[in-house]
Structure 1
Amino acid sequence: MKTLETNLRVAEAVGPKMDQLRLEFETILNLEKYEFDNKPVSVKGNAKFMRISLLAALSLNDNRTEEFKDLIMTSNSIHATLFTVHNLANTLNTLIHHRYAHLNINWDDNITRSKIICFEILKGADYLLKDENLSKWISFTGSKTGNSGGIPHLNLNIGEYADDIPAFLDMNSNAITNTQILIAGTTGSGKSNLLAVLMNEIRSISIETSYPVNFLFFDYKGEFSDIANNHWLNHFAIDRSSILDPMAEPLPFTPFKNFVNATQNEINIYSTEMANALCAIDRATISANMSNRLSEAIIDAYKQTKGKPISFQLMLDCYTDLQPSNEKEKVDSVKSVLNQLVRSNLFLNEDKIDLINNSFIIKMDKCPKDGPISKAIVYFIVSKLNNIYENIPAQANDGSKVQLRHFTIIDEAHYMLDFENKPLKDLIAVGRNKGMSIILATQNMDAYKSKYFDFYANAQYPLIMKQQSINDAVLKDMYGVAGNDLVEIKQAIAGLQKGELIIKNNEAIVLGMGKRYKKILVRHLI
């Protein structure tokens, strides 16, 4: 019997039908009146509904025809978890083959298999939406579903190589040395769609397991947080409550570290790092006296809070107190930066959300991308993630795969690479052992080889899309090529169309023969 769960595609009609089924499902489960602080039930993503619909359809013993051939397919994938969660693969495979046994089906054809699965999903959804059928199914199956216990294999299907061969990025098998993804592509190259595909894969594969992978996405262009693109959020199993706009209201957490029960030396080191950061994000020119005064002000602020997280206002007050009496009214470079941060009111003074165990999109399009406010938002949030990771256990490992907990995704990342960004480097270096990963996207691959840190040397997957130019030295380092091989890679990059990218062909590089790169057409999602 041919197994069905690989290389499947979604029909156009499935998404809208699942939205309809979800609405009906939530309407049935939610009470009209809520008491105390109970929240309405909201089910994220389509996987559960697709699986319920498929099961419902296969329970119907009517004669199957070749109606499935009329479905219009998309390039979006149906994840194998549709079959494998709850160990349903054998049951579903058997029932599907049984229902279509009287027809001459080519089970080796991906499109035919995809159409049959989608036809059954739509058939089941139509059945559930009739009369009281959905209520009966909920009563029969129960409204709570168990989670798959194992670590999911984050083998991300991002598109296709030549000849329709699926292209995967293995993110968490033990053979993978790290989990960083770097993307470089000019405006119009398809970067936004690629980011969406990556987030969709990460969430779809993991969301129903005991090891869900969350993300924090810095949306510099505002595309993903735009209400006009609200339908995109379903791809990532989130809703608008996951969008945070620091220009509209403070981000619901403090960016500063808690030093209760910490040593004074820990606070001293932190104060120096923080002073350097505050100057770097505004490229402020300060004297040694001003730098020392700022570090001392941070130490004094922590003395006042007895080690609890401080605030920019308290930092400013302590800095002013340390100025000579005849300079307290003077606004120097340090106070200029602090004043901007105080006025912007970017953060609360306490944590109201869990950055790790939830997914969020930070709306970044309302402030200048290269300005101190944008840099402060990213810098301090990444610093906060580092603080959290210090206090969680190492990632789980089942012998073949490691747990991934979280992705930090920064679009327009070049704005955060042109200064000494210690939190970002720490997140790459230290977070790896705690199950975190980073996806950075920017205009040109050159940006990742800054004087402060060689980001691409630490990346498992540098993905090059269409760009205006690329430094020969970067390509030589990345692919280990020169001469004709270098010219060939440059020509391949110049010939890329929207939605295409090249990736290193590690097998060819190791063997020293064949093309050093492969070309991938990214599947279209948004």
Structure 2
Amino acid sequence: MILFNNIKIAEGIHELLGSLKERVEEQVSLKKWHEQKAVSISQNMLLRVSFIAGLSMADKREEQEILDMKLTANGTMHDTVFQRNNLQPLWSAVLKLRYQQTDIDIENPSTMRKIVNYEVKRGAEFLLHGDNLNNWLNAQVNQNSQNAYGSIPSLSLHIGHYEDDLEAHLDLNSTNIANTQILIAGTTGSGKSNTLAVLIHELRSISIDTSYPVNFLLFDYKGEFSDPANNDWLQLFEVDRTAILDPIVSPLPFNPFKDFRGKTQNEINLYSTELSNALMAIDSARISANMNNRLAEAIIKAYKLNGNAPIDFEQILKAYNSLRPDKKQDEDDSISSVLKQLIRSNLFIKEDRLDLVQESLIIKMDGFPKEGPIAKAIVYFIISKLNTLYEKLPKQAVENDLVELRHFTIIDEAHYMLGFDNKPLRDLIAVGRNKGLSIILATQNMDSFKSEHFDFYANAQYPLIMKQQSINDGVIKDLFGVSGGEFQEIKQAISGLQKGEILLKNPTAIALGMGKKYKKIKVSHLI
């Protein structure tokens, strides 16, 4: 049987698929449904349909055109394009049938990849011609066939290869793993961005054509993923530039504050204390106990004046100043200074216009100083909003030893958000565990994940260690449970990591007390 895997996309295919995507979406996004979310067709689906359309045609294949096809250095057809519904044997048989009268060596892996691209190209060109697409969309379907799209997909992410060249997978949603949290620690130039891209690409490619798509929210601190020069990255994640939100250009389309209508006063009191502490922490402001209490009271007052509906920073500042002595109401202090910065930045609108969980979004962060209060406020309040949404979701579905995953919050340069008691981030981990929600945190040093406030290493299923600028002995000992010679062996292995290589725990060896306590993975090159 021909195995359809690791197939690079040939030159010109992306452009053809882009044209086909526009044509399909024009036909299925009817005007009478214009108030609903527009239909979006995944790249997986476009590749699969074009491949099938190409194979369906029995006319002669142009051998020289196949051999002349040029495969790109990056951009790969995800294996799930061909694995859906376990139809690989069928595709293999039809492909052999179509090429049995040719001199092409279909058993040659390089030639076979060109053949697949050739069939995709033929199929896409066929569907773009005349009324062919319309005829395909209106074809009769066997309504009695099993709905494979209703099943929870197995999120076994293929991220690279082990040292023995075996494929390396991360199991994210089988019932035998504790959680789905992923930590990535690696210095500049270690390959973190590519690793993040591989993880997102796998999550989206595997799930996008099912009834259980996994969405994501990425805080893009360096601006790599939102850079127009990297637009081709977006199609790897099944999104386009509409997924990018830039708070400098336009306020984020939701209100981050909680809605306490119908709630108890005690809930508002607890929230006001948490919020006042956070507003000071994100600016590292040192304030007196009286000022902190006054800010908490101001938040309570703002809610009362607003009928317990979601408030905004201007209402908090107005309430805060009203509680200050008359002579000082026009003077700035640490609290009013932070609030005015947030008001001037105009970060959020007053009502929700999108659901953060139901969309895949990239928040452009490179326009703000990474350690500044505005960047911290954006991440803090978005995570707080996610928690509010998570609380309303039903428990994740479970089916055939697989659990549903809904959403990943991904923070690059996460160390900027780990240096204070970030309660929303801790709550996200606690609430998300049973709701199909999780996190991927990427930072430069291993020790960033453990502080006096929280030990993220102890709660993560997959701590992934990449090339380090400095190695924290204590973290290694705690993470791998080693000492003596084993400790030195792991420390040396971390020191020897090259760009794109990952070290992770070997739970089997740790449980058995024998063998190497770690595994090394060479991550697939994607971007």
- Return the TM-score normalized by structure 2: 0.91
- The offset of 1:106, in angstroms, is 9.7
Q: Which region of structure 1 is more displaced relative to structure 2, 149-158 or 127-136?
A: 127-136
Amino acid at match of 1:160: H
- Give the 5 Å matches for 1:474-513: 474-513=475-514
Cα 1:170/1:108, change in 2 over 3 Å: farther
Does the CA contact (< 8 Å) of 1:254 and 1:309 recur in 2? yes
Amino acid at match of 1:212: P
Amino acid at match of 1:95: V
| Whole-angstrom CA distance in 1 between matches of 2:471 and 2:103 | 52
Match of 2:191 in 1: 190
Secondary structure class of the residue paired with 1:12 = strand
Amino acid at match of 1:458: N
| Whole-angstrom CA distance in 1 between matches of 2:396 and 2:36 | 31
Q: Pick from 53, 56, 59: which aligns with 2:56?
A: 59
Match of 1:81 in 2: 80
Does the CA contact (< 8 Å) of 1:18 and 1:49 recur in 2? no
Match of 1:124 in 2: 123
Asked whether 1:338 is paired with 2:319, we answer no
- The offset of 1:329, in angstroms, is 1.9
Asked whether 1:293 is paired with 2:294, we answer yes
Does the CA contact (< 8 Å) of 2:20 and 2:127 recur in 1? no
Equivalences, count = 520
Does the CA contact (< 8 Å) of 1:181 and 1:462 recur in 2? yes
Does the CA contact (< 8 Å) of 2:253 and 2:351 recur in 1? yes
Does the CA contact (< 8 Å) of 2:480 and 2:505 recur in 1? yes
| Whole-angstrom CA distance in 2 between matches of 1:458 and 1:110 | 42
Asked whether 1:11 is paired with 2:8, we answer yes
Secondary structure class of the residue paired with 2:226 = coil
Asked whether 1:47 is paired with 2:44, we answer yes
- Give the 5 Å matches for 1:83-162: 83-85=82-84, 88-100=87-99, 114-130=113-129, 133-140=132-139, 148-162=149-163
Amino acid at match of 1:432: R
Amino acid at match of 2:10: A
Identity %: 56
Q: What are the Cα deviations for residues 449-487 of structure 1, in whole angstroms up to 9, with x where unaligned?
A: 111100111111111111111111101111111222222
Asked whether 1:461 is paired with 2:433, we answer no
Q: Pick from 26, 29, 39: which aligns with 1:30?
A: 26
- Return the TM-score normalized by structure 1: 0.91
Q: Which region of structure 1 is more displaced relative to structure 2, 159-168 or 218-227?
A: 159-168
Amino acid at match of 2:15: D
| Whole-angstrom CA distance in 2 between matches of 1:432 and 1:33 | 38
Amino acid at match of 2:81: L
- The offset of 1:134, in angstroms, is 3.7
Q: Which region of structure 1 is more displaced relative to structure 2, 146-155 or 441-450?
A: 146-155
- The offset of 1:393, in angstroms, is 0.5
| Whole-angstrom CA distance in 2 between matches of 1:458 and 1:36 | 44
Cα root mean square deviation, aligned: 2.8
Does the CA contact (< 8 Å) of 1:207 and 1:213 recur in 2? yes
Match of 2:256 in 1: 255
Does the CA contact (< 8 Å) of 2:105 and 2:111 recur in 1? yes
- Give the 5 Å matches for 1:70-469: 72=71, 78-85=77-84, 88-100=87-99, 114-130=113-129, 133-140=132-139, 148-469=149-470
Secondary structure class of the residue paired with 1:248 = coil
- The offset of 1:398, in angstroms, is 0.8
Cα 1:204/1:288, change in 2 over 3 Å: same
Amino acid at match of 2:429: I
Does the CA contact (< 8 Å) of 1:9 and 1:76 recur in 2? no
Secondary structure class of the residue paired with 1:476 = helix
Q: What are the Cα deviations for residues 356-392 of structure 1, in whole angstroms up to 9, with x where unaligned?
A: 0001100001111001111000000000000111111
Does the CA contact (< 8 Å) of 2:198 and 2:526 recur in 1? yes
Does the CA contact (< 8 Å) of 1:18 and 1:125 recur in 2? no
Q: What are the Cα deviations for residues 53-110 of structure 1, in whole angstroms up to 9, with x where unaligned?
A: 1111221224669776766475765434323445644543442344355789999986
| Whole-angstrom CA distance in 1 between matches of 2:121 and 2:34 | 36
- The offset of 1:47, in angstroms, is 0.6
| Whole-angstrom CA distance in 1 between matches of 2:505 and 2:410 | 21
Does the CA contact (< 8 Å) of 1:174 and 1:399 recur in 2? no
Unaligned segments of structure 2, at least 5 residues: 142-146
Amino acid at match of 2:80: T
Q: Which region of structure 1 is more displaced relative to structure 2, 312-321 or 117-126?
A: 117-126
| Whole-angstrom CA distance in 2 between matches of 1:106 and 1:432 | 50
Unaligned segments of structure 1, at least 5 residues: none
Does the CA contact (< 8 Å) of 1:243 and 1:363 recur in 2? yes
